[in-house]
Structure 1
Amino acid sequence: MRIRLKAMALIIGAAFCAEAAHAQSSVQLYGLLDAFVGYKKPMNGRASIIAGNGGMTAPYFGLRGTEDLGGGTKVVFDLEGYFNIQTGAMGRTGFPQDGLFSRNAYVGLTGRYGTVTAGLIPPLLWFSTITFNPFFNSFVFSPIVLQSYVGVNGQGVFGNAGEWWNSVYYASPSYNGLVGRAMYSFGNEAGHPGQNKWSGQVSYNNGGFATSVVYQQIKYSLNAGDLGTLIPGLTTQSVVNLGVSYSMNFVKLYGQYQHVWDSISNGDVGIDTAQIGFAIPVGVGRILGSDAYSKSSGHASVYRNTWALSYDYPLSKRTDVYAAVLSDRASRMATGTTVGGGLRTQF
């Protein structure tokens, strides 16, 4: 009888230990799917009817997890990959460098002194760009995303769109809504010790008001020494971005100002970009609107103006339908137009 009681006690104890270990760590599978059908005519391009991928958000899936080390410190990790819902291929349309986990791939620690991570991490400028516009991170309908990361006539922010490889990142704890962040990316190539990317950000969020200031400097885009292949003679690109949003009961307003310095051997170029936007609740849905305007100064003086309107209607907490139109025009180019409607769901 005693042996049976001891064995039962051991089994119950092991069960409690296993449950305690499980409570201290967690892993979550999650993702998003977004498909649309529409009409697309690129600037200077031919019109077509398309079944599109990621009208509002590029589809992705991910695994994230934590392990509680005690004393308020946790290990955190995140692995996220883009995929094309129309073809099943990995990556985003038009980004051939995308790998299996090209949206996020990092591990780090978080606790009372902040968060530090290392790996493949989206840069601070990207977060500011998508946060302070009503179309968030859409590469189809967000004017500021298109002007910043799908540039024409030599305009645009380089450094690999939404992710930096070989990076380290730090975020301070929040002090009444005030947070400081810093990020550094290594070129990781012998003979190019000065090839790097770095960025700093100060953000504030309290109630319905939020703002952010970001500075970013890059000395390579994807691989050390490759900036000159993007613009001949380009050695360094620096960017400052100011974003602000204010939410009221009847409308949420967005604004951004961005200045890009391209240091080029035959003459520097500056690019000024302004964006305004709004989100107006209409019933349970929202009307979204945004306009972005860019103008270059220096030896390449060009402009670009992009606007978009959309109606977004939630079917549930995780699923919504949308319809949107975008107009895009630039110096010495015929106007582009995109019109579409789609379905987006999260899991």
Structure 2
Amino acid sequence: MKKSLLALATLGAFACTAHAQSSVTLYGVIDAGIAYTNNVGAQHNFFTSSGNLQGSRWGLRGAEDLGGGLKAIFVLENGFNVFNGTLGQGGDEFGRQAYMGLSTSRFGTVTLGRQYDSVVDYTGPLEVGSQWGSYFAAHPADLDNMNNTNRVNNSIKFTSANYAGFTFGGLYSFGGQAGQFNRNQIWSIGAGYSRGPLQLGAGFLTVKDPNYSFFGDNASSRTATTAESSSNFPSSRVISGFASAHTLQVISLAGAYTFGAATIGATYSNTQFKDVGSEAGTDNSLNPVGYTGGSGKFHNAEINFKYQLTPALLLGAAYDYTKGYGLSDAKYSQAMLGADYFLSKSTDIYVDGVYQHASGKDSTQQVAVADINQLSPSSTANQVAALIGIRHKF
């Protein structure tokens, strides 16, 4: 009897130890606001907006200690609209992220699943739309993906350990097309440095067949094998005319420096939609302008500033300039202002405003109109958007 009790006690102690070495965390963000924009069909528009500073989400994050500094990890992250309860990311259950892998503090982490590319990882956090500026303040049409509009499916990713502030990594996505190794292939590399007041980042991304592999990244997307195959690109005329491009390439750089309560930052990206007209759509919707070659290219430069006026109040200002060349000569000038007040560590209220002016001809070869990210295009060259909201993290 004593031996049985001793064995049971030993087993119980072992179970408690094993449980202590594993963890699963439920986390999330609920972000809701009221927005305004003008010049939509020559009318004003007030509307509700979910996921403004951060996409509304809930997720599960887990880790198991395997011994010797090795851990098994996973993340499953869902996106949703707080105003109607619908799923984000085209209706995918875990459309924001879904991956698992192994991690060591000495070398880094290898993961497999639906993940962020290196532009998002290393330069995205320094863009104002990923800070206090909301998705309205992202670069037009989020053309360089710094605001993380698109994820990468079927990917394997490496993220290094932190070496005195320096990190690096890369991602590769398998195209999954039998006999066509390069089709739908995506890869990216990047590096970052963060030490003291200085932050730096660089990222490179190349995407084959972007209409299907990158913009068509969820279950509701059109595929190249379906009879109704057509564009998965956003409706924004900044880039919608380039849906027939064979390759998307993004080069990005970013930096920020903090002095006292102030931080000044800058980003630069060069985005190219190459060989426009070479990605066929069965109903020709991918090439409505009749492009037969060439590339749609963009320079984008942003400068941003934020000031921690009090421990609870953050103020921000930024300016972004986008210049098209190649198949588009459109220019977009965008100014942003914002304020974020923290009621607690978990809850804040915010106000943001964006003004954009456009000129030249856009990707559809029409006269460019103001086209603030994820809003209906303006009916004129100018557009204003404003937003007030509340965010809670758990």
Q: State the TM-score, normalizing by the size of structure 1.
A: 0.89
In 2, the alpha carbon distance for the partners of 1:228 and 1:45 equals: 29
Question: 1:170-199, CA deviations, whole angstroms, 9 ceiling, x for partnerless residues?
Answer: 012222111110101122123432120100
CA distance in structure 2 between the partners assigned to 1:39 and 1:307 by the alignment: 16
Moved more, 283-292 or 230-239: 230-239
Structure 2 residues without counterparts, runs of 5 or longer: 214-222, 234-241, 276-291, 360-367, 370-379
Report the residue type matching 1:266 in the other structure: G
Task: Provide the C-alpha distance between the structure 1 equivalents of 2:8 and 2:171, rounded to a whole number of angstroms.
Answer: 48
Q: Which residue of 2 aligns with 1:171?
A: 159
1:99 to 92, 98, 103: 92
1:210 to 189, 199, 213: 199
CA contact (8 A) 1:233 1:266 kept: no
- The separation in 1 between residues aligned to 2:324 and 2:207, in whole angstroms, is 19
Corresponding residue to 1:280 among 304, 307, 315:
307
- Structure 1's unaligned 5+ residue stretches are none
CA RMSD of aligned residues (A): 2.3
Aligned sequence identity (%): 27
Question: 2:110: which partner in 1?
Answer: 116
Aligned to 2:3: 6
- The one-letter code sitting in structure 1 at the alignment partner of 2:269 is Q
What amino acid sits opposite 1:178 in the alignment? F
Q: Tell me the SS of whatever aligns to 1:14.
A: helix
Q: Distance in 1 between matches of 2:150 and 2:132?
A: 12
Which residue pairs with 1:268 in the alignment? 295
Equivalence map 1:264-343=2 (5 Å): 264=275, 265-283=292-310, 284-331=312-359, 332-333=368-369, 334=380, 335-343=382-390
More strand by share: 1
Residues 329 and 129 of structure 1, relative CA distance in 2, 3 Å threshold:
farther
| In 1: Cα distance, 2:125 partner to 2:333 partner | 20
Does the aligned pair in 1 maintain the 2:355–2:384 contact within 8 Å?
A: yes
**Distance between the aligned counterparts of 2:150 and 2:14, measured in 1?**
41
Give 3-state SS (helix, strand or coil) of 1:8's partner.
helix
Indicate whether 1:59 and 2:56 are aligned.
yes
2:123–2:201 CA contact under 8 A, matched in 1: no
Q: Which moved more, 1:58-67 or 1:223-232?
A: 223-232
Q: Which runs of 4+ in 1 moved over 4 A?
A: 42-45, 137-142, 224-230
Cα pair 2:72 2:102 within 8 Å, conserved? yes
Distance in 2 (alpha carbons) for counterparts of 1:317 and 1:250: 18
Aligned residues of 2:352 and 2:386 also touching (Cα < 8 A): yes
2:36 paired residue number = 39
Q: For residues 152-231 of structure 1, what are the structure 2 equivalents within 5 Å?
A: 161-195=149-183, 196-221=185-210, 223=212, 229=231, 231=242
Give the Cα–Cα distance (whole angstroms) in 2 for the partners of residues 191 and 44 of structure 1. 47
Q: Return the offset for 1:314.
A: 0.4
TM-score (norm 2): 0.79
Amino acid at match of 2:268: Y
Question: What is the SS of the residue equivalent to 1:58?
Answer: coil
**1:157 Cα deviation (Å)?**
5.1
**Distance in 2 between residues matched to 1:223 and 1:233, nearest whole Å:** 10
Q: CA separation in 1, counterparts of 2:145 and 2:135?
A: 18
Partner of 1:258: 269
1:244 and 2:271 correspond? no
SS of 1:234's partner is coil
1:53-102 per-position Cα deviation (integer Å, ceiling 9, x unaligned)? 122111000001001110000001000010000000111xxx5x340101
| 1:329 counterpart SS class | strand
Amino acid at match of 1:80: E
Q: Secondary structure at the match of 2:210?
A: coil
> Is the contact between residue 187 and residue 223 of structure 1 (CA under 8 Å) also seen in structure 2?
no
